Structure 1
Amino acid sequence: MKLKGPRAIPVQPAPQSLLPSSRYRRLRVAIVSDAIAGRNGLGTYYMDLIEHLRGHVGCIELLGPIADRDAQLERFSVPMPGDKTQRMVYPNRCELRRRLDDLRPNLVIVPTLGAFSYFALLYAREKRIPVAIAHHTNFDRLLSLYWPRVISKPLGWMLRKVNRWLITQAGMVVSLNSEAYQDAVSLGARNVRIMGTPVACDFLRHPHSHRNAPIRRVIFVGRLAAEKGVGEVLDAATIHSKIQFAIAGDGPGRDMVCDAAERLSNVSYLGWLSRDRVREEIDQNDVLVLPSAIEAFGTVALEALARRRYVLLRRECGIAKWPSLAAGLFHIESNETVADSLDRMLNMTSVDLERQAEPSWSAVHDFNHHTLRKWLSFLADAAIGEAPMQQSDAA
C-alpha cells in the first residue's frame, strides 16, 4: 500500500464547539513567556496555539523574547547554562508593562520560570487579573543530564521551590501529559487540566509527498542536546550506512553533529530551520526519529504524523501517553538503541508499516480539534476563576 503521489489533507471545518461564542469573544489573553519564540518546543507551542485560537477569542498575544531580539522589550540577556545557543533574557519592565496595558488582558498565562514570567505575575496581581500557570518541565530530570549530583540536586531543589510558589499563585494549571499532571499536583496545584498540543496550520493544509518504499531517509529535528538523544541517531547512522540521515536543529551538540556530517557520507546537518523548512524537510524523509529521554509532548512527532510520516520514539515522550496518537507510533524499547529499533522497521514490509502507522495518521485532525476545544474551555474558566478539578484524557 504505497502512496502514489501528492495528496491534500482536507482542511476540516471547526466543530460547533469551536465556533465563536460570546463566552470566548470576551477573552483577552496575554501569554508571557521567557522561552524564545520559535526556538524550541515550548517556544513554538504557543505560537501554534495562538494561530488557531486568534479567530475565536477577543485577543490573544504572546509576549516574550524573539530570535532576532526585540530591542525595545529586551534589556539584556546571558547564554543559557548548558546551552549557549539559547538566551536567558531580562525584560524592559516599562515596555512589558506598556504592552500589557495595551492588550488589557483579563487572563495572564505564565508557561516558564524567569524574569518575564515574574514581572507578568506581579502585573496580574496588581491589576487583579486571574493567572494560569503552564507546567511543562521536570527540572530534576533535566538538570541531572547536565551537572553532577552535587550541583544538580540543590539547583533542582531551588527551582522546585520556585515552581511550587509559582503554582500556588495560579487559579488553574495546565500540563501536557499525565506525568506533568501528577508532578503539578505534588507541587500543590489545586486545579489542573491536561492539554494536548496543537498542530501548526501549515502542517495540516499543505499536500504531503509520497514516502519511499522501502525506507531510505531518516530525519531528526530538535535541540542538539543530551536529553534529546542526538548522539544515538548518529550511532544509528554509523551502523545503517545505506540509510540517509538528516539532522536539523541547534544546541550544545552542534560540533558533534558537524563532525559526524564530515565523517559520514550518509549524514547531513541542516542547521536550525524555520517552520516552513521543517515541514519541507520532513516531507523529504520517511521516518522521524525522536529518542528523547525527556519530552513533555514532542510537537515535531505530531507534525510528522500530520505529514503521514513514520515516527520512531521512546515511550517516555509525552505524545506516547495519548492513546489515540500512540496507536501508530514505533517505539524504541528500553533495552534497544535507535539502530536496533530502526532495524526492526527496515525488516517490516511497506504494507505492515502503513497498517501500523495509519491509526495515528488518522487521529491527528480529531486530536487537534480536541486540543483547541479544551484550551478554549480552559481559558474561559480560568478568566472567571471557575475551575473544577479535571482528570487526564491521556493514559
Structure 2
Amino acid sequence: MKISIVTETFLPSTDGVVTRLRATIDYLIDQGHEIQVIAPDLGVRSYRNIRFDGVQPRTFFLYKHRKFGMPTRLIKKYFEEFGPDLIHVVNPAFMGYSGIKYGKRLGVPLIASYHTHVPKYANYYNQSWSEPLLWWHFRRMHNKADINLCTSQAILEELNEQNFYNMHLWKRGVDTERFNPELHDENMRRKLTNDHPEKRLLLFVGRLAFEKEIDSLIPMLEQNPDAHLAIVGDGPYRTELEKNFAHLDNITFTGFMHGEELAKAYASSDAFMFPSTTETLGLVILEAMASGLPVIAAESGPTNEQVDDGSTGLLYRSGPEGNLSDVIKRLEDDNLLERMSKQAYTHSRDYGWRGPAQQLLDFYESAIEMKQEEEQRAIQ
C-alpha cells in the first residue's frame, strides 16, 4: 500500500504526535508499505528512507514561538507525484486543510486523526470568543474524511457531541523496550536534583507552554521543601516559567532530553507529574509508567482513563480548590510508593506500539473498502 501522511508536526520536533508517528511509520515500513510524509520543512528531510516532501514553515501570529506549514497547492502536486492508495491527515489545522481538500478532490480514501485539543486552548490565551469558530473549523475539516480517529474515549465522546463524523478510538502505546526501571542512574538523579538525591524526585516531561499548567505546581513545591521537581523539556513558556520558579531552590530545568538520556531521567525519578487538563491523551504518562513511576495527575477525562487512583498513581483536583499538596504528602508512605511503582510498570507492559500500529493499518484497509463500495454504488 502507498500511504501519504500529511502532518502539522514532524522531526525534529519532539512531542507525542511525532512519537506516535515514528512508531507507526516503523511498523508500516516493516510490513512492506511505502510511505510519503508531507510536513513543515524544519531541516530533517529523511527518516528510514521514506519519501519526505516539505512545506515552507511560517510563523502564525497567535503562536509566534512555533512555525507551521500553511495551506498550499503544493500538497496536491506531492499527492499526484506519489499516487497514494490512502491519505492520512494528522492533526489537520493549517497545511492539513490542504491535505483534506486535495485528498478529497482526488478521490483518495481519507483518514484524519485528532491529537491536539486546540479549541480548549482558547481560554488559556484570552481568546475565548474564538472557541466556537475553532470547533466549526476542525469539525468542517474532519467531516470530509472517510474515517476520523482520536486517542482517548473522553475526547471521542466530546467530538461526538460536537457532531464530528465517524469517530473511532486509536489506542495508546509506548516503547516498552526503551523505557524501563532498570535504567535507574545515580548520576542522572544527582543531575536532576541539583546534587540532592535524597529528596523525593518529581519529574515533568513535555513542551513548556502556558496551557500545560506547570505553574500550578509552585504552591506544592513551596509547601514541600523535601520534594524536588525536574522539568525536562523546552518551549515558548520556558523563560516565564524560570522567572516564576526563581524563588525556589528545589527545581531543575534541563531542556530537552532524548533517547537513553530521557529514559534514564524517567527511571531515576520517584514519581511523574502531569498537571495539564487539556490533553487529548498524554503519551508521557505511559512512558513514565513503563519506567516504573506512579503518575501524579490533575483529573481530566483522558487522564482518568490512564491513571488508576491509588494503584498506578494518584489523581488530584486542580484549580483554586485543588488538593495537590495533600496528595503529594501521600508519597511519604514508602510502601504506597513502591506498590504504585510496581503496578504502574505492570500496567504499561500491555501497551506496546505494535497493537496501535496494526489497528491503524486496519482502519486504512477499512477506508479503502468504504471508498470502493461507494464507487460501486455510484456505478450502479
> Structure 1 residue 329 and structure 2 residue 313: aligned?
yes
Q: Which runs of 4+ in 1 moved over 6 A?
A: 69-72, 210-215, 323-326
In structure 2, relative to structure 1, the CA distance for the partners of 1:377 and 1:206 (3 Å cut) is farther
Report the Cα offset of residue 143 of structure 1.
Answer: 0.6
Q: Could you say which residue in structure 1 is the equivalent of 2:56?
A: 75
Report the Cα offset of residue 136 of structure 1.
Answer: 2.6
Which range moved further: 237-246 or 51-60? 51-60
- State TM-score, norm by structure 1: 0.78
Report the Cα offset of residue 296 of structure 1.
Answer: 0.8
Paired amino acid for 1:358: K
Report the Cα offset of residue 202 of structure 1.
Answer: 5.4
Report the Cα offset of residue 292 of structure 1.
Answer: 0.5
Q: Could you say which residue in structure 2 is the equivalent of 1:22?
A: none
Which of residues 128, 131, 137 is equivalent to 1:152? 128
In structure 2, relative to structure 1, the CA distance for the partners of 1:108 and 1:367 (3 Å cut) is same
Q: Could you say which residue in structure 2 is the equivalent of 1:138?
A: 117
Q: What CA deviation, in whole Å up to 9, does each residue of 1:105-129 have, x standing for no partner? A: 2111112233321222233223311
In structure 2, relative to structure 1, the CA distance for the partners of 1:311 and 1:292 (3 Å cut) is same
Q: Could you say which residue in structure 2 is the equivalent of 1:363?
A: 347
- SS at structure 1 position matched to 2:350: helix
In structure 2, relative to structure 1, the CA distance for the partners of 1:272 and 1:127 (3 Å cut) is same
Q: Give yes or no for contact 1:47–1:62 (8 Å, CA) kept in 2.
A: no
Q: Give yes or no for contact 1:80–1:87 (8 Å, CA) kept in 2.
A: no
In structure 2, relative to structure 1, the CA distance for the partners of 1:252 and 1:102 (3 Å cut) is same
Note the 1:116-135 alignment, pairs <5 A: 116-135=95-114
Q: Could you say which residue in structure 2 is the equivalent of 1:45?
A: 20
- State TM-score, norm by structure 2: 0.81
Paired amino acid for 2:66: Q
In structure 2, relative to structure 1, the CA distance for the partners of 1:288 and 1:66 (3 Å cut) is farther
Report the Cα offset of residue 302 of structure 1.
Answer: 0.8
- SS at structure 2 position matched to 1:367: coil
Note the 1:1-395 alignment, pairs <5 A: 27-37=1-11, 38-65=13-40, 67-68=42-43, 73-79=54-60, 81=62, 83-90=63-70, 93-94=73-74, 96-147=75-126, 151-153=127-129, 155-200=130-175, 203-204=178-179, 207-209=182-184, 216-259=200-243, 262-316=246-300, 318-322=302-306, 327-334=311-318, 335-346=321-332, 348-349=333-334, 351-368=335-352, 369-385=354-370
In structure 2, relative to structure 1, the CA distance for the partners of 1:359 and 1:206 (3 Å cut) is closer
Q: Counterparts of 1:326 and 1:93 in 2: how far apart (Å)?
A: 52
Q: What CA deviation, in whole Å up to 9, does each residue of 1:190-229 have, x standing for no partner? A: 4221122221465347943279998621111122223212
Q: What CA deviation, in whole Å up to 9, does each residue of 1:237-263 have, x standing for no partner? A: 222222222112223421233235654
- SS at structure 2 position matched to 1:73: strand
Q: What CA deviation, in whole Å up to 9, does each residue of 1:110-166 have, x standing for no partner? A: 12233321222233223311111112333332211111xxx422x222221122211
In structure 2, relative to structure 1, the CA distance for the partners of 1:384 and 1:205 (3 Å cut) is farther
Paired amino acid for 1:86: R
- Number of aligned residues: 353
In structure 2, relative to structure 1, the CA distance for the partners of 1:324 and 1:383 (3 Å cut) is farther
Q: Give yes or no for contact 1:50–1:61 (8 Å, CA) kept in 2.
A: no
In structure 2, relative to structure 1, the CA distance for the partners of 1:47 and 1:370 (3 Å cut) is closer
Q: Counterparts of 1:374 and 1:178 in 2: how far apart (Å)?
A: 16
Paired amino acid for 1:32: V
Q: Counterparts of 1:386 and 1:284 in 2: how far apart (Å)?
A: 50
Report the Cα offset of residue 276 of structure 1.
Answer: 4.3
Report the Cα offset of residue 178 of structure 1.
Answer: 1.7
Q: Counterparts of 2:57 and 2:199 in 1: how far apart (Å)?
A: 47
Q: Counterparts of 1:325 and 1:338 in 2: how far apart (Å)?
A: 13
Q: Give yes or no for contact 2:41–2:54 (8 Å, CA) kept in 1.
A: no
In structure 2, relative to structure 1, the CA distance for the partners of 1:339 and 1:180 (3 Å cut) is same
In structure 2, relative to structure 1, the CA distance for the partners of 1:205 and 1:166 (3 Å cut) is same
Q: Counterparts of 2:267 and 2:218 in 1: how far apart (Å)?
A: 21
Q: Counterparts of 2:301 and 2:282 in 1: how far apart (Å)?
A: 6
Q: Could you say which residue in structure 2 is the equivalent of 1:19?
A: none
